Amino acid sequence: MLAASRLGIRAKSPSKGCREADRIAAVNKMADAFEAFLSVSALEALIKTCPNLRIVDTRTPDEFATEHIPGATNIRECFEYLIPNTHPDGIAHLEQHFSTIFSQRGISNSPDEVVVTYEDGMSTGFAQSCRAYFLLKYLGHSRVFVLDGGFHAWKRAGHPVTAECLPIEPAQFRLDIRKHMICPYSDVQQVVSGNSEWVLLDDRDKVEWTGASSSPYGIDYTPRKGRIPGARWIEWYEYMNRDADGVWYMKTKPEIQALLQAHGVTPDQKIICYCFKGSRASHTFLCLQECGFTNIRNYFGSWNEWSRDFSLPIDDRKL
């Protein structure tokens, strides 16, 4: 058969649309191969190959201004925001608030966009990078990852840091809200009343679980101390290990599965995670998700909402 060029026929090159679709497919294929907790080397690969990568730093503005991963944008609000309540109006406020913030910070949820969140260290910021992950996923983002080991791991591996803050081009975040991910207080009430098959899983620090403190913000930050009645407890630190250099990383999937099994938490159960404000609960949510749990929700109001409503029961025995 004669080649097209021999016949004087110009071969058709792939259309711009086809090339774009191929590029998106290649990015997505690579991203889909990664675990949700992303290694430093995997982030390095994404920086080199993913043109539409967004890196979200959840640390304080001062920490970010001192040094950060090149190309990152600082969104402290991912950690500091407190949902007004988990009534429909409170959840609507969260949705509008963060769709606006993510748009302002140049995150669009386009088909080829990948977002990686990070904090200082996995054990030092109450899982704020996981809270950012949860918010992005709740609002519909398809490819979000958390940097395992955080900024500590990035620096220890000898990767570059910078104090330069690049200009941000605003975007329009494409909403695709996943309502099932957030649990309202009314559904928790049903569990406490024995009218639901869902299981409550508390992952707060020990001082909060035992009733010695009301929150990470102070012993008496909220008016009541204790637990939501009937909840089980796995302290969120237990999902991690610290290496010889003091950097905290996630445990392996088999280790986390064994931990959950030891506490009677199994993938056939329906789990509602809670903490103080949905941050550590986002960490547990992500751990369960990675272990194959399919029915998981985050009570985003958590103890901050529950303890302030004196019509809601608590277990305030000192443990």
Structure confidence at residue 271 (pLDDT): 98
Of 9-18, 29-38, 109-118, the range with the lowest mean pLDDT is: 9-18
Residue 11 banded pLDDT, cuts 50, 70, 90: very low
Nearest residue to 105 via CA among 150, 64, 149, 63: 64
Query: Using 50, 70 and 90 to split pLDDT, how confident is the model at 33?
Result: low
Q: Taking a C-beta distance cutoff of 8 angstroms, is the pair 201, 234 a contact? A: yes
| d(C-alpha 286, C-alpha 302), whole Å | 17
Q: 297 φ, ψ to 5°?
A: -140, 155
Mean pLDDT of 159-169: 95
What's the average model confidence in pLDDT over 18-35? Answer: 61
- Say what the pLDDT of residue 315 is: 98
- pLDDT for residue 233 is more than 90: yes
The string of pLDDT tens digits covering residues 124-161 is 999 999 999 999 999 999 999 999 999 999 999 999 99
With bands split at pLDDT 50, 70 and 90, how would you rate the model's confidence at 35? confident
Q: What percent of the chain has pLDDT over 90?
A: 89
Looking at the predicted structure, is the pLDDT value of residue 25 above 80? no
Residue 60: the pLDDT is 98
Q: What distance, in Å, lies between the first and last C-alpha atoms of the chain?
A: 84
Q: Which residues pair with 227 in a beta bridge?
A: 315
pTM score of the predicted model: 0.91
Whether 30 shows a pLDDT value over 70: the answer reads no
Q: Longest Cα pair distance anywhere in the chain, in angstroms?
A: 88
pLDDT beyond 60 at 4? no
Residue 102 has pLDDT above 90, yes or no: yes
273, 236 Cβ separation under 8 angstroms: no
Structure tokens at 7: 């016949």
Taking a C-beta distance cutoff of 8 angstroms, is the pair 236, 280 a contact? yes
Strand 232-233, strand 199-202: pairing: parallel
Instruction: Check pLDDT > 50 for residue 10.
Output: no
Q: Taking residues 98-110, what's their average pLDDT? A: 98
Span 211-219, average pLDDT: 97
Does the pLDDT of residue 2 top 50, yes or no? no
**Above 70 in pLDDT, residue 98?**
yes
SS3 118: strand
pLDDT-derived band at 256 (thresholds 50, 70, 90) equals very high
Kindly tell me the burial class for residue 280, based on how many C-beta atoms sit within 10 Å of its own C-beta (0-12, 13-18, 19 or more): buried
**Arithmetic mean of pLDDT over the chain:** 92
